[in-house]
Amino acid sequence: MVSVTTLDLARVRAIAGAVVDPEIPALSIADLGVLRDVRVGDGGVEVDITPTYLGCPAMNVIAWEVEAALAQAGFGDVRVRLVLSPAWTTDWMTQAGRDALRAYGIAPPAARAGRRALFGADDETQCPRCGSVETEKLSEFGSTACKALWRCTACREPFDQFKCL
């Protein structure tokens, strides 16, 4: 058993934060904003994660992966807690995360999560492939809870958009 000290904090944060979202492997949970807090003390390591959506099926897998990654680095006594408050927002996604999403073929969410009007026009969305803003929404819901389905009318390719929340 490795004794944990506060000196390990940065290391734990780096290891836990490097775990990727199983549904979007291009994105680490640090870049996604899902990793909320890390605490290291005599009682072991505590990691807080927060769900993007309450029904997100990836949360269990992310918790297991965090435990496994820390165990591999010698941190045996790890507890992963699920926290709901404050509620996750796309504003917590880092710039590196947004760039990684775009490179992966998913349009990142708008830079600031505004309160969208209930009905009416959508914010401009840029095609992650050709960069055109000549795009249209096909469906409010995409392949996972956090994505919507769009189409580019310039390059004719369909693409996912990370919903702005």
Which chain residues interact with other proteins by CB under 8 A?
Answer: 51, 53-57, 84-88, 116, 118-119, 138-145, 149, 163, 165
User: Nearest approach, Cβ of 75 to other proteins (angstroms)?
Assistant: 26
In the complex with other proteins, which residue's Cβ is closer, 1 or 118?
Answer: 118
User: Nearest approach, Cβ of 133 to other proteins (angstroms)?
Assistant: 22
In the complex with other proteins, which residue's Cβ is closer, 97 or 142?
Answer: 142
In the complex with other proteins, which residue's Cβ is closer, 1 or 55?
Answer: 55
Residue 25, classified by CB atoms within 10 Å of its CB into exposed (0-12), middle (13-18) or buried (19+), is exposed
Distance CA 54, CA 42 (A): 32
User: Nearest approach, Cβ of 8 to other proteins (angstroms)?
Assistant: 29
User: Nearest approach, Cβ of 156 to other proteins (angstroms)?
Assistant: 17
Judge contact between 62 and 49, C-beta under 8 A: yes
Distance CA 33, CA 83 (A): 12
In the complex with other proteins, which residue's Cβ is closer, 13 or 116?
Answer: 116
